[in-house]
Structure 1
């Protein structure tokens, strides 16, 4: 049961670092480690080894064993060592019926071992109701009662107790009251830097909940990554691609994550396709807030051999199509007084990659930068921000490594 609860908490708060204090009976450390991201870590500290696992090497045999750091020995010493290593944790799990649980809790709180939104889970805080009985002499019950009293009287935290098995307390820092005065030696700090603009933390301000976005060229590569990123931030995402099956594949991926998505086919070089795309999005979700104009092609041919057909086809998609999308989405955004347009240019708009031969591509992407600058300048005062990014193509990363390190790989024109 404890293992399932911990795994759920890890998922809910997106925990990366976990501290387990005490006797590990009843839950599976490897199962919890499986919920962590690749850079996650569980620090397990106890007086005795874990269920016969006597060394770190034995944990390493598990598929996620590298995420587990076993610290066997006096827990107080382990906590001091973790503090000296400047560790901090998203979840701290404590067994309440340990004789030194109060000291462990106090050390964690007093020495700032908790990350900003961390949760402390304390198990066995009800002891099947025994903590509320009078004339109890059992040492474990008295220890739990003392710990509960310390937590209840700690003004730094607030808690709830879940009636799960022998009781599970969930503890977090108390929110800072808005009328709290934070004093320094020279002045009172009480501004948007401390409280956050509109009393929102920075990651909350980056959320896209309620926004509607589309991504052209969304069936693969950068466009697919755009679609996932926007969706994970909370936006509804229309995945647009020349090939409907590719768009549907990405939309399916998004739906598996619980992201509202729509798959559309469109040739962005055709005005009627672009308008149909925008109309379909508006019909489904009412508007467009974010436009990622990412569709592009590169036909790769030597300059002296580039045909007019190749030139026209490249410009029709990379520049004409991007203009049509900006214009169609921009009309909606200008009407509502809000919008974000992100165009995909290329490092090839800033340098000439060699030995790649792609005159039409380079010139079209340079046009994307100038188009973006122009629209951004025209529309910024009307609530629409137009920017472009200039990714580095893998094909010339090696050739131009020294140059790329001296050139900003993004162009953000008007914010």
Structure 2
């Protein structure tokens, strides 16, 4: 078929396939054999170089996967089958290889997947690639018919340290899918790479059982089946015919949106629609706040955040959390070296960040940190007022200086920060202010004596409520987060506090101290559109400590 305007708008070959088609068309029309051969050599170079080039410009897999690929290609599968170790005669060319594994790893990361179902594992090269992209509590369920392949792959899973993220279900895939559905497993991604005549059944089973979440993906391998799906030969090809019917079925399925890319042997990316075509008009519950899906509401892209006391502890953790959610972050601390250290950590993760030295007890500094943030990062949408100090002492022994210093940072500093931040946010009609309180605002932590700290944090909570009501109609949400006991160096290394640890743990229903990551998502929630109707709220995260 010649290149025409029907293939490309300009009529000029553009993609490698169009270039190849054009060359072959010219070869067919060549007047002499030598001319045709020269053109065919160019066509051969385009074909032969495509896959190697794609692999050369893609990030390589880790060494464990490379070793597993080598073991797979060198293994004597004929002998294994003759010895009745395998149920079928496996072919080494069925190994997905590094490029396909890298593709699936990237898709897993891009989608933020936590659960993946893989129908057809073979020796587990793609299983490993997917598992390496999952969080620690993620899981890939690999469905494999042959127990020999499970045992073949197991050492590599263990060597990679990913065995806890992988569960291999041995048996017919349809039965394994039923088991997963009965267990309530729902996946972000399902990958089909098994027997081709079974694709349609697996697809319908996954869709009908709601195994794939709304917005999730079904990734289908071999969608082009060596070109035989669209350019069938004279010999009947059962697998190609099955894939052709499968492709037609999926294309007509109004529950999904699909696109096929000519990557290796063709990959179809099928996304489950959140609302089927032809369904009744969606209301705000179906569409979400501002027509955003729930997880989209938590994204902070194009937002600028300022975090005080971000050189260490809670502030540092919050800066990382907001940055990972998409925000640019101004790291504010009274010690510039600590601020720069956190900002550098963020920049190393690809997060836009600056460091600012500021003393929150100074009105001038609070105004400066806001002005600097706006000047260097382009705005201010989120402010976390977290800077604080704690000097434990008995009430009768507390000096006037300790009282004044504590309130200057913990309470006045929060007020001055809120004031400077709100002056900008009121003008733009939008803002999220989050103050860090403490469970000490609700009950009296003991046996340590810290009346000054407790009172300063109680004032922060009441200040949050007051400012929240004043600015709510102006588009500014002011809220507070009150953490419980945190497992930080302050506790572990302080000789006065460490002996109190067992007493604290005895009063915490969860039986443990909070870790800094326990707080991050809460700050992201408060900073996002998902919390737009929360005003003056004090969110307590204490493992249940204040309940006893």
- How does the TM-score come out when normalised to structure 2? 0.68
Where do residues 13-92 of structure 1 align in structure 2 (5 Å cutoff)? 13-22=111-120, 24=122, 27-49=125-147, 51=149, 53=151, 59-60=157-158, 62-92=160-190
Aligned pairs for 1:16-415 (under 5 A) are 16-22=114-120, 24=122, 27-49=125-147, 51=149, 53=151, 59-60=157-158, 62-95=160-193, 98-134=196-232, 135-174=234-273, 176=275, 180-181=279-280, 190-394=282-486, 397-398=504-505, 400-401=507-508, 414=536
Q: Which runs of 5+ in 1 are unaligned?
A: 183-189
What's the RMSD between the two structures over aligned residues?
A: 2.8
Offset of residue 215 of structure 1: 0.6
**What CA deviation, in whole Å up to 9, does each residue of 1:352-406 have, x standing for no partner?**
22211212211211221222222223222333222222221346743643699xx
**Deviations 1:318-343 (Å, cap 9, x if unpaired)?**
11211211111121122222222111
> What displacement does 1:167 show?
0.9
CA distance in 1, matches of 2:277, 2:218: 24
Structure 1 counterpart SS, 2:101: helix
CA distance in 1, matches of 2:179, 2:510: 44
Q: Is the 8 A contact 2:131 2:139 kept in 1?
A: yes
Aligned-residue offset at 1:66: 1.1
2:215–2:273 contact (8 Å) kept in structure 1:
no
The alignment partner of 1:245 has SS state of helix
Provide the secondary structure at the position in 2 that maps to 1:238: strand
Q: Which segment is superposed worse, 294-303 or 268-277?
A: 268-277
SS in 2 for 1:222: helix
Q: Match of 2:495? A: none
The whole-number CA distance in structure 2 between the counterparts of 1:9 and 1:364 is 48
Structure 1 distance, partners of 2:148, 2:101, is 14
1:51 Cα deviation from its structure 2 partner: 4.4
Q: Which has the higher strand share?
A: 1
The SS at the match of 1:215 is strand
- Residues 178 and 328 of structure 1: CA distance in aligned 2, closer, same or farther (over 3 Å): farther
The 2-side partners of 1:236 and 1:163 are apart by 37
- Distance, in Å, in 2 between the alignment partners of 1:109 and 1:295 is 50
Structure number with the higher helix fraction is: 2
State the Cα distance separating 1:142 from its structure 2 match: 2.2
In structure 2, the gaps of 5 or more residues are 1-98, 487-500, 512-518, 527-533, 538-548
